[in-house]
Amino acid sequence: MTGRIAFQGEPGAYSDQACRDARPEMEPLPRRTFEDCIEAVRDGSADLAMLPVENTTYGRVADIHRLLPESGLRIVDEAFVRVHISLMALPGVKIDELELVRAHLVLLPQAQSFLSQYGIRSEAAADSAGAAAEIAAAGDRRVGALASDLAAELNGLEILARHIEDHDHNTTRFLIMGREADLSRRGDHGMMTTFVFQVRNIPAALYKAMGGFATNGVNMTKLESYMVGGSFTATQFYADIEGHPDDPPVARALEELAYFTDMLEILGVYPRDPGRD
């Protein structure tokens, strides 16, 4: 394998699956927290970090937008992973033997219809892949886990049912972060640019700042705000746009934005993933 890519969670987590899908030539490196993933890239333990930023079912991943600007890392790619939920248990166990399943808190409601159908109770775990590992170690035939197929494979568990999620659109978007920016044009589906900014304290500053993107025909796919420094008056914005900073319309829009901001920092320029479509 060529290099390591860090992810948050246990082996078999959906972030692990994202690493294997997007960078199959690299060795996935599990870390406990998002901060640990970032530090692994900073100190050279890993070459890249795979960080989830949003999910179609439960929205923005908490704290991640605060961590990205502070990380010192740059976005070099994005990846979309379809979250398929599988029910797994010890080899030989039948569904009607299960009394309880364990999974991460955000996963349990997404399979509630299936669990109710079989009268199986649910219990929150810190990590879905970790729950699979614990079940494999404990040897309790009454307890199962909801996790990825990869988690079952890595822990020697048997999949009793696949794709049991209530909705068929559950997808997580990940950003792949590295130590150095890559401004080259690459990929076959266009480019994306991500940046953060703080508007000047003048009337209608945000409205005026955004006007340049509209008048130059630049598509903004995401705009989110969050507080910085514990202040209700210092608001930072995170934005994704389609295009490269060297594209004339994007360059004009960013130039206009800079006039109305106290801070503007580009976090990454990367290929647009076809998973967006």
- Listed residue (234, 242, 224, 241) closest to 199, CA to CA: 234
Separation between Cα atoms, residue 172 and residue 17, nearest integer Å: 11
Domains for the chain: give ranges and CATH numbers: 4-83+170-178 (3.40.190.10), 86-161 (3.40.190.10), 191-272 (3.30.70.260)
pTM for the full predicted model: 0.90
The type of residue at 135 is: I
Angle at 61 between CA 59 and CA 66, to 5 degrees: 125
Per-residue pLDDT of the chain (277 residues; tens, 9 = 90+): 579 999 999 999 999 999 999 999 999 999 999 999 999 999 999 999 999 999 887 778 877 878 888 899 999 999 999 999 999 999 999 999 999 999 998 899 989 999 999 999 999 998 999 999 999 999 999 999 999 999 999 999 999 999 999 887 889 999 999 999 999 999 999 999 999 999 887 788 888 889 999 999 999 999 988 777 666 666 789 999 999 999 999 999 999 999 999 899 999 999 999 988 7
Active site residues: 172, 174
